[in-house]
Amino acid sequence: MEHTLVIVKPDAVARGLIGEVIRRFESEGLVVCGLKMVRLAQKEAEGFYQVHRARPFFDSLTRFMAAGPCVAMVLAGEGAIGRVRTLMGATDPAKAAEGTLRRSFAASIEKNVVHGSDSEASAAFEIPYFFNRLEIVSPAERGEISVM
Ligand code: CDP
Ligand code: MG
**How many whole angstroms from 134 Cα to the centroid of ligand 1?**
30
Which ligand has the minimum distance to the alpha carbon of residue 91? 1
> Residues annotated as binding site?
9, 57, 85, 91, 102, 112
Domain definitions of the chain by residue range: 2-87+113-142
Q: Which helix (H) or strand (E) holds 83?
A: helix 80-88
Q: What is the pLDDT of residue 146?
A: 59
Structure confidence at residue 133 as a pLDDT band (50, 70, 90): very high
Least distant ligand from the CA of 59: 1
CB 142 within 8 A of CB 121: no
| 53: Cα within 13 Å, side-chain hemisphere | 9
Which residues are in the CB-under-5-Å shell of ion ligand 2? 118
Q: Please report which confidence band the pLDDT of residue 36 belongs to, taking 50, 70 and 90 as the band edges.
A: very high
pLDDT above 80: residue 140: no
Question: Does 115 participate in catalysis according to the annotation?
Answer: yes
- Dihedral (CA of 124, 128, 134, 138) sign: negative
Neighbouring CB atoms inside 10 A of 53's CB total 11
> Which pLDDT band, with edges at 50, 70 and 90, does 147 fall under?
low
> pLDDT-based confidence at 89, cuts 50/70/90?
very high
Enumerate the known binding-site residues for ATP: 9, 57, 85, 91, 102, 112
- Nearest residue (CA) to ligand 1, atom 11: 110
**Distance of CA 117 from the midpoint of ligand 2 (Å):** 6
In this prediction, residue 138 has a pLDDT band, given cuts at 50, 70 and 90, of confident
CB–CB of 123/27 below 8 Å? Answer: no
Q: CATH top-level class for 2-87+113-142? A: alpha beta
Its pTM stands at 0.96
**CA dist., res. 44 & res. 33, Å (int):** 22
